[in-house]
Structure 1
Amino acid sequence: MATVVVQQQHALQHSTPPPSPIPPARLVNRRGSPIPNKHLPICPPGPSPSEPASHDSLGVRTANDQTSSLLYPPDGLVRLSGPPSPTVYALDAETLAAALNHQAAQPMPDPSQMFPWLHGLHPDNHLQLGFFSSRKRSLRRPPKCWRGITVVKLGGDLTRARVKGAVCAHEVITPSARFLISDPPEGFSVRNFQIQTAKLAALSDIIVYAEDGASRSQMLALAEDFATAQQAWRLKNDPTQERPAYNTFVLTTSFAELEKKCPNIVAIDSKGQVTGQVMDFVLWERVEMCSMSRASEISANVFLGPTPDYILRPDACQLPKQEVYDLLIEASDLASIPGPRFLGMIDKQLEDGTQRMEFPSSGSIVLPSGNTREVEDIVNTIRWIYYLANPDQPAEGADHEGDVAMTHARKKPRRVFIHCADGYTESSLLAVAYYMFAEGVPAPEAWLQLHCNKKRNFFTYPTDVAFLSHIQPRLLQESPARRSAHTSCNWDPDWFLKMDGSLPSRILPYLYLGNLNHANNPELLWEVGIRRVLSIGEPVHWTEEERSKWGHENLVFIDNVQDNGIDPLSQEIDRCLEFIGKGKSDGTATLVHCRVGVSRSASVCIAEVMSSQGLSFPRAYCFVRARRLNVIIQPHLRFVYELLQWEGFQKHKRNASIPRELEWATVSREIALLNKPYSRT
């Protein structure tokens, strides 16, 4: 007998056990190889230009002078140690805060001075060297223009008492008091975010601090190790002393006093609480995700959204009154299909208060070869949910053998909440299937109505499309909202047949981000309200008839930007945003795409969000990342650097003196940590 197969997947999920030991009626088969829900797609790097770009977005090469710092020269500061020991200086909290703020207000060096060195040019990595600097050994030398500040916490526990941008000592220095060689010795990558902290620590002043109660002698010993590492680096990389020296400091102010005097540079307080004074990528991504996918009603009394915090963290907050639901259905990779017996049990327990149950997640159900008991259980579950939410509707089609009795005519409508961690990944299959049944519409209309009318962002897999098409006749046949008993459901429009399950990602009402497949499906774009297409480095393949229908002025191709870590994007940003802005003023939406929809096009969308929403780069990055749904955006190192620099250009245009929220090394470190759970390596 054929079965519905549920594939187990890795995900950010919080499974809730059933309220009683009674299991669903039937177990399902599981495949052994897990499939991650969110994934990091591969971005083809494209060809290497014959000559690397050497100008900034304004077309002017900047000076090679080192960025100014309040810590250099360290005149007037007290020496804690000196010859014959390495020199270490004392630093107080006010000077530290002033130095960090000064650094954040300095213009960033031109990308041509920092790249390709920032990509990581290990002398043994011939692939990386050959791509970036085959004939120019000067490109491998550390830049003279960079002077950073690296804050190091003694002990390395960053879960409490964390200063803005602080890192662990082992991230940047070896036990033998030498800076880490972080460049990868093999392989090719333009996304080596994980090496930036270590690379730039050697080009930075080092500030060592500790929690209150830590040993002062240990602080000084660690600081002397860093001073030793600075001396060794200078002998090797700057023997003629062409650049100013980097120095090491010890924060002599207690952390308790620092919290009082300089709260704006405290990321996590001494009790381990996030202060909100320093932008945090993980928390801000969660904020943007919940904002984008906040709970909303998709059909009468049925809601869709992210798992509430009171479930994720029971001690964190109380249940808001407006979020009181009778039934919470969590879409989970580990869930089995509910059977009639289990539904009957939940049905009775609803009289006692809010109940919880689970349903298989999107992408986990494989198309069966025929009608099976599992398919019947899925349809039966959807029908059961409908009559919980709509007890006043006549219970048609409920007399199938084994179905739970529809006895809700005398009961009040139940509020049902379909949820998962991010509000869309695991729950989309159940949400779309329920909408088809409740509203009596075929799958293509359900996709469009949920997206356009209900303003829901959701993500489905190709297996979901196949499965929903398979059970579509059953759902529409039994739907109380079907238009007639002869509803046709055997025809799907061409745009739906070409779709892989996902719609382009709606970043703003007038701005969509997608891939080349989305761009080459003009019928799909038209259906969701997109009327302009901006192609970054990847041309669309449309017929002349399609181009004429859209109007050639509504199609723009940027042909000189490859995803190779060399081609600059900043010189095209103004042109791209002008095109997007024209569509916005005309009341139409623009699709921005490249090949995969995560690097070149994502960078343009980040720039638009920075410009239109007035957000810093880190916040705009998280804004777009949350709305790209199940595909993780991956602007490469140079694009991220250019966007962080472009943030300064925008502030200069507005005559604003707001410093950067986070520095380059911190931004890179946070992006690497965000992506690490989804990496297959």
Structure 2
Amino acid sequence: MATIAVPRPALSPKSSSQRGSTPVNAVSPLQTLGLASSPHLAASVSLSNPVSLYAAGQPLLDDTDDSGSYEYTLSSSPSPAPDLRQASLLCSPDRYVRVDSEDASLYEIDAASVAEALDYASQQQLPPPSQVFPWLHGLHPENQTQRTYFDGHQCQTGNTPSCLRTITLVKADGNLSLARLKGAIAPCEFMRPGATPEFIDADPLSGLSVRNFHIQPAKVAATSDIIIYGLDPDETRRVAWKIAVAQRRWREKLHAEVKNLPTYNTFVCTSSFSAFETNHRNLVSIDASGKSTGQVLDLIQQERQEMRNMTEASEICHNVWLGPSPEPGGVEDQHFDVLIECSDTGRLDPSALQFIAEHPHSSQSLPSSVCFPSSGSIMPPTWSQREADAIIETCKWIYHIAHNLVPESSDAQQNAMPREESAAAGSRKVLIHCPDGYTESTLLAIAYFSYSTGSSIPDAWLELHTTKRRNFFAYPSDVSLLSAIGPRLLCESPVSSGKSLEDITSYIKAEPQWFSDLDGSLPSRILDYLYLGNLVHANNPDLLKRLNIRQILSIGESASWTDEDRANWGSENMCFVEGIQDNGIDPLTKEFGRCLEFIDQGIQKGTATLVHCRVGVSRSATICIAEVMRSLNLSFPRAYCFVRARRLNVIIQPHLLFAYELLRWEEFLRQEGGSKEPYKREMEWGEIAREIALMNRPYSR
């Protein structure tokens, strides 16, 4: 499968007029984004291209005044952001049947009303970051480290914001592996265990973090109307009463601290789950039998799909392919004759490939399988001459198999077909593979590409990425090992046949400077014109030029170039965004315009742009996600998975504030993109944060 832009589902929510109701927060998008103060600019600039709004050199979204608070303005004099409160169809629950007990009240709701309320909530504008941060980061009264950090940055560490109102769906039995609705969570994710019903105070008691994605579902639940559904009506109602009591207690606690805090309500769904499966299939993530419906975006599955799209098997040399491990017995599996799996448990055994090469017509119903060590597993200076010989022998026998060259001295020749018939039978296809399609297989892929094409290791490294369009990841040890055996690969390459050692030696020039400075990894190709990298990549201008990267966008970190490099590069091809730290405080949306305009400049020149910060996981990743959202018309969660997959072995980590800004960027792009339909979020904040936390869990310590 080719790498394609995943289309956004059609948006067809009913307008407020069709519902017969008017949103409480009927604030125009221009007001929310600070454009209403400049009607001339808003009217004179085409909204079909959001970047054109930045042409005036003014911030579009969040700006910061001297006090550190966010503002929305297009003028030099800041104006306060509107007090935006999210509206909800559940805000006034009078239309629903109310059931009272001594401790709390419940409201009964059916499946149709649940669907309507969720649809309406998805169209509510998100409050400005200044109204919800740093509260969303988690500010426990006893966590002096966290509170002192934000106090030191002059952030207003206020109480629970009164502008939030969303909907939390809760499955009563907590089993989310079946009968799961979109965004549903288990009671244990926001309720304390025990006989006394209480909400969890999710804020961490200690430590400092601006990436507390895991606490967001509980934060959201405490500021939302809660709907409980389930398969067992009695259990569902029993759990609903506990949540209603806990919600009342939480409200009483907060009302003593927060003025004008909304009253949130608890609802119990009286419809069976089959009502959702029959009439509201778009809300069913996992059906009653435990099967995924594909109707609801799942970030883990989406990342896997993006990974497979990116690493789809492709031919790098004659009859030799590189890609992800195929499903056993699947169509891809049957497409190849020989499978070479690269893994940590693989070993060097060229004799296995030699046997396959010498017995081309041995009858087998399944492709032959061979193993090879993974990239980074053969460590210099411990690797031996025997290992170097084995790598070169492996390349030799792969070449024989791919070109159907049966050795003349082979005993198998006695029982083989005549040479003419053997050639007519066709050569065999070889797949070099690993689970993700790029990590473990890089060492063998580059070695074989060099051997097969007669390219030096540095040239093979670049050609595999540029000409063959393969994204791959290598380790520093791979650089050392391949550099050491590179001359032998060329000397023994079939392309070098007939050439003298002097000719080959003259071709193998001294390693280029860019290769000497290489740490193994190339900057990550996000789009043809957009690369994401770190400070090491930025400090290798020769490498960037070889990749047709002629522009560099530095976010908060500048490259340490010589004056000569800067002069050769040209100041117009360098853009430095100052004053943006990865601290969970500095906003980045105000820089989107300048950054995307600079990227556009590169597109017009026919060149690519490297976006980098220090590590290439947060600030620069945020800019790349914003560009992918704009250029491919993707929602934030889809663009997040798109970039995350293409960053290869580095896990992108935009912090909470950046993620929230990107969700609002999605809102802006959709509202101002010329669509006649009202904007509707594909996923809500709590859902996105929860799934990002799940995606990161395997990598957390």
Q: TM-score, normalised by structure 2?
A: 0.84
- Does the residue aligned with 1:139 lie in a helix, a strand or coil? coil
Identity %: 49
Residue 140 of structure 1: CA displacement? 3.6
Q: TM-score, normalised by structure 1?
A: 0.86
Q: Which residue of 2 aligns with 1:665?
A: 686
Residue 341 of structure 1: CA displacement? 5.4
Note if 1:219 corresponds to 2:236: yes
- Does the residue aligned with 1:150 lie in a helix, a strand or coil? strand
Q: Which residue of 2 aligns with 1:675?
A: 696
Q: How does 1:137-156 map to 2 (within 5 A)?
A: 139-156=157-174
Q: Which residue of 1 aligns with 2:190?
A: 172
1:79-123 superposed Cα distances (whole Å, 9 cap, x missing partner): 2x3131411111111111111111111110000111111111122
Specify which of 245, 261, 282 is matched with residue 243 of structure 1. 261
Specify which of 463, 471, 485 is matched with residue 500 of structure 2. 485
Return the alpha-carbon distance in structure 2 between the equivalents of residues 433 and 304 of structure 1.
13
Query: Please, which runs of 5 or more residues in structure 1 have no aligned partner?
Result: 1-47
Q: How does 1:58-457 map to 2 (within 5 A)?
A: 61-79=80-98, 81-134=99-152, 139-175=157-193, 176-211=196-231, 214=232, 216-239=233-256, 242-308=260-326, 310-311=327-328, 318-319=330-331, 324-340=335-351, 343-344=354-355, 348=359, 351-353=363-365, 354-369=367-382, 371-392=384-405, 410=422, 412-457=426-471
Return the alpha-carbon distance in structure 2 between the equivalents of residues 444 and 137 of structure 1.
49
1:133-187 superposed Cα distances (whole Å, 9 cap, x missing partner): 3597952411111112111112111122110000111011012311112111122
1:640-673 superposed Cα distances (whole Å, 9 cap, x missing partner): 0000011111112114323110000110011111
Return the alpha-carbon distance in structure 2 between the equivalents of residues 649 and 586 of structure 1.
28
Return the alpha-carbon distance in structure 2 between the equivalents of residues 135 and 597 of structure 1.
24
Code of the aligned partner of 1:522: P
Return the alpha-carbon distance in structure 2 between the equivalents of residues 244 and 481 of structure 1.
75
Code of the aligned partner of 2:688: V
**Counterpart contact for 2:173–2:235, Cα < 8 Å:** no
**Counterpart contact for 2:352–2:370, Cα < 8 Å:** no
**Counterpart contact for 1:388–1:413, Cα < 8 Å:** yes
Return the alpha-carbon distance in structure 1 between the equivalents of residues 450 and 579 of structure 2.
44
- Does the residue aligned with 1:441 lie in a helix, a strand or coil? coil
Q: Which residue of 1 aligns with 2:645?
A: 626
**Counterpart contact for 1:151–1:166, Cα < 8 Å:** yes
Distance 1:82 1:65, change over 3 A: farther
Distance 1:234 1:341, change over 3 A: closer
Return the alpha-carbon distance in structure 2 between the equivalents of residues 237 and 134 of structure 1.
25
**Counterpart contact for 2:139–2:147, Cα < 8 Å:** yes
Return the alpha-carbon distance in structure 2 between the equivalents of residues 343 and 51 of structure 1.
72
Q: Which residue of 2 aligns with 1:24?
A: none
Residue 357 of structure 1: CA displacement? 2.0
**Counterpart contact for 1:531–1:589, Cα < 8 Å:** yes
Return the alpha-carbon distance in structure 2 between the equivalents of residues 122 and 136 of structure 1.
17
Return the alpha-carbon distance in structure 2 between the equivalents of residues 542 and 138 of structure 1.
39
Return the alpha-carbon distance in structure 2 between the equivalents of residues 268 and 60 of structure 1.
46
Residue 287 of structure 1: CA displacement? 1.4
Distance 1:342 1:383, change over 3 A: closer
Return the alpha-carbon distance in structure 2 between the equivalents of residues 342 and 551 of structure 1.
51
Distance 1:642 1:506, change over 3 A: same
- Does the residue aligned with 1:661 lie in a helix, a strand or coil? coil
User: Root-mean-square deviation (CA), in Å?
Assistant: 2.4
Residue 128 of structure 1: CA displacement? 1.0
Code of the aligned partner of 1:52: G
**Counterpart contact for 2:170–2:186, Cα < 8 Å:** yes
Distance 1:137 1:231, change over 3 A: farther
Distance 1:198 1:466, change over 3 A: same
**Counterpart contact for 2:357–2:401, Cα < 8 Å:** no
Return the alpha-carbon distance in structure 2 between the equivalents of residues 613 and 150 of structure 1.
30
1:558-603 superposed Cα distances (whole Å, 9 cap, x missing partner): 0021101000000000110010011112211100000001100000
Code of the aligned partner of 2:355: G
1:463-509 superposed Cα distances (whole Å, 9 cap, x missing partner): 11111112212211211113733213462111100010011111000
Q: How does 1:552-631 map to 2 (within 5 A)?
A: 552-631=571-650
Return the alpha-carbon distance in structure 2 between the equivalents of residues 676 and 614 of structure 1.
29
1:31-51 superposed Cα distances (whole Å, 9 cap, x missing partner): xxxxxxxxxxxxxxxxx9984
**Counterpart contact for 1:194–1:672, Cα < 8 Å:** yes
Return the alpha-carbon distance in structure 1 between the equivalents of residues 406 and 467 of structure 2.
24
Code of the aligned partner of 1:357: V
Return the alpha-carbon distance in structure 1 between the equivalents of residues 67 and 315 of structure 2.
55
Q: Which residue of 2 aligns with 1:35?
A: none
**Counterpart contact for 1:56–1:112, Cα < 8 Å:** no
Q: Which runs of 4+ in 1 moved over 6 A?
A: none
Return the alpha-carbon distance in structure 1 between the equivalents of residues 691 and 382 of structure 2.
46
Distance 1:158 1:369, change over 3 A: closer
Q: Which residue of 1 aligns with 2:7?
A: none
Residues matched between the structures, number:
615
Specify which of 472, 478, 489 is matched with residue 486 of structure 2. 472
Name the structure, 1 or 2, with higher relative contact order (CA <8 Å, separation 6+): 1
Note if 1:55 corresponds to 2:75: no
- Does the residue aligned with 2:496 lie in a helix, a strand or coil? coil
Specify which of 522, 525, 529 is matched with residue 503 of structure 1. 522
- Does the residue aligned with 2:401 lie in a helix, a strand or coil? helix
Return the alpha-carbon distance in structure 1 between the equivalents of residues 80 and 118 of structure 2.
26
Return the alpha-carbon distance in structure 2 between the equivalents of residues 573 and 324 of structure 1.
45
Residue 394 of structure 1: CA displacement? 8.1
Query: Please, which runs of 5 or more residues in structure 2 have no aligned partner?
Result: 1-63
Distance 1:534 1:394, change over 3 A: farther
Return the alpha-carbon distance in structure 2 between the equivalents of residues 455 and 135 of structure 1.
45
Return the alpha-carbon distance in structure 1 between the equivalents of residues 356 and 407 of structure 2.
22
